[in-house]
Amino acid sequence: MATEAPELTVNVEKPGAWARRLTITVPADRIAREKKDAVQRLSKRVKLPGFRQGHVPSAVMERKFGPAIEQEAVEKVINDAYREALESEGLQPISQASVENVNYEPGSDLKFDVELEVRPEIELERIGGFTVLREQSPVADQQVDEVLQRLRDENAAWRTKEDSTPVAGDMATVEITPLDDATEAEPSKPRRYEIVIGEGQALQAVEDAIITLKMGESAEFEVDLPENPEEPAGPTKPHRMHINVVELKTPEYAPLDDEFAKSLGDFDSLAVLRERIAEDLGRETEKEAERGVRMQIVQQIIDANPFEVPQSMVRGYLDQMMPTREGADPAKLEELRMQMWPMAETALKRSMVVDRIAEMEALRPTAAEMDARIDDMAERMGRPRGEVIAQLRKAGRLVELEQEITEEKVFDYLKSLSDIQ
Amino acid sequence: MRDVREVIIRPVVTEASAMLQEERQTYTFIVAKDSNKIEIRHAVQELFGVTVAGVRTANYPGKVRRVGRSTGRKSGYKKALVKLVEGDSIDVYEGV
């Protein structure tokens, strides 16, 4: 229907860099036709005494529902005309358009203005010839040692400690009974906690009290606790409480030897375990280095081709990142948004640069490339290809995958244009 | 002579009357039961400023209605089909 519609007249003004004001004129006969369509649509549904459903003459319909029909027709014409105008002018709006100055007299042309913001067309004149530093430090023995120590911590055996008070690293099971509001008739109930001493799991004042007791001992304490739990350093108030140390355990670390390595899984010796840890750490630092390189390249491109991001785009991005939750304090939310603003701006610039380069150099993934990646995934997961595709589609991750491949191709291309040291 | 608004009670707006209007330039009204064709002709001419070519009337007696044991009768009405001369028309939908 749109193809046979009489031509619209569209006039585009640029009040700002991204702002566009469209003045659209729709010929009267198109509105008349739309009105006729609206009458027909409505007459099929409407029930009037004296008429069978769907047989109400249009003259009666217009008499009875004239203003509503006209409004419906004009609204539809405005919507259609706006969409057609965007298409014919090749505009990509990034904000909700606002329709203004609707000027319509029955029987005459419809004229209205639309104000919107469009996605900026960025011009990237220089995208290569940069010097980028790849910061990748080799994996140090100390890092491997740290991971090993963490593994020992996680796999420590806990031995009961009966004869001495707890020290840092010990785990105490305690029952704490607040005594402030307790009466003889209604004693407070004890609450049980498991606390590793020295890890900041309990308030310092409580921990100080616990370390004076051995396993099985109990005592009453007067402990200064902060008045406001969210401000541990704020003013304090004394509270009376009864602390009972039910159980005390101390960690027993396995010796760092081949046996320990074997107990963790498929490792023949400690040397093999160290090697595997070093490999994993190496992969991680490599990823980190790659991220750094990509960030530097994008930053240099942005510096060499400065451009601005429309505020409405940043706002839209933030809206997506942090949807308004009910009951949230609007002032705090606004403050948080302001804090995140520069980050959002950078993220948008980055994605605009990547998109633009993908477009300029035709680097979007081909169907074959997508297929190859999906085959890869299917093989890794050991599942049929069809199932993997269905799952990706269901989770809406096909677009993400496409974006991922595009980024890889864009950055491979960009790296080939710059000097990576 | 009585007031024209007492003669013409209301127009009839139905599918059938709409068809008569379109095809035969004939407008349908409910009129006072005791009015005659001459009164109706004058009333239509005066009310709508048109020239009437002919009037035909029909009396509809009220139907008998029963409610339990008692019977009653709905009120009847008189209908007039008024044909106008070529070129004249009435906007009967006004106020529909």
Predicted local confidence at residue A40, as pLDDT: 85
**If residue B32 lies in a helix (H) or strand (E), which one and from where to where?**
none
CA–CA dist A3, A173 (Å, integer): 78
Chain A hits for B95, Cβ within 8 Å: none
What is the rounded average pLDDT of the residues B45-72?
Answer: 93
Instruction: Write the pLDDT tens digit of every residue in B7-20.
Output: 999 999 899 998 99
Q: B94 and A63: CB-CB below 8 Å?
A: yes
What is the rounded average pLDDT of the residues A180-206?
Answer: 80
Structure tokens at A408: 């890889």
Q: Does domain B4-84 have CATH number 3.30.70.330?
A: yes
Please report the domains of chain A, with CATH numbers, ordered by start residue: 2-117 (3.30.70.1050), 124-155+273-307 (no CATH), 157-252 (3.10.50.30)
Contact of A386 with chain B, judged by CB distance below 8 Å, is answered with no
Write down the ipTM of this complex: 0.78
Chain B hits for A64, Cβ within 8 Å: 93, 96
What is the least distance, in Å, from the CA of A57 to any CA of chain B?
8
* A20 DSSP β-pair partners: A116
CA–CA dist A253, A265 (Å, integer): 17
What is the least distance, in Å, from the CA of A337 to any CA of chain B?
56
Determine the residue of chain B that is closest to A63 in CA distance: B93
Please say whether the beta carbons of B96 and A63 come within 8 A: yes
CB-closest option in A52, A55, A60 to B96: A60
CB-closest option in B14, B22, B94 to A50: B14
Predicted local confidence at residue A3, as pLDDT: 46
SS3 A377: helix
Q: Highest mean pLDDT: which of A27-31, A105-109, A322-326?
A: A27-31
Of the residues B10, B13, B14, B30, the best mutation for testing chain A's interface (the one with the most A CB atoms within 10 Å of its CB) is B13
What is the rounded average pLDDT of the residues A301-305?
Answer: 86
Placement of tokens 């009129």 in the chain: B31
Q: A51 and B94: CB-CB below 8 Å?
A: no
Of the residues B21, B22, B27, B93, the best mutation for testing chain A's interface (the one with the most A CB atoms within 10 Å of its CB) is B93
Closest by CA to B49, choosing from B96, B3, B89, is B89
Contact of A126 with chain B, judged by CB distance below 8 Å, is answered with no
All structural domains of chain B with their residue ranges: 4-84
Q: A59 and B18: CB-CB below 8 Å?
A: yes
pTM over 0.95: no
Chain A hits for B96, Cβ within 8 Å: 60, 63-64
The mean predicted confidence, pLDDT, of chain A is: 83
CA–CA dist A256, A11 (Å, integer): 78
Helix/strand/coil percentages in chain B, nearest 5: 25, 35, 35
Instruction: Write the pLDDT tens digit of every residue in B10-58.
Output: 999 899 998 998 899 999 999 999 999 999 999 999 999 999 999 999 9
CA geometry: angle A9, A12, A17, nearest 5 deg: 170
CA–CA dist A159, A166 (Å, integer): 12
Phi/psi at A219 (5° precision): -160, 165
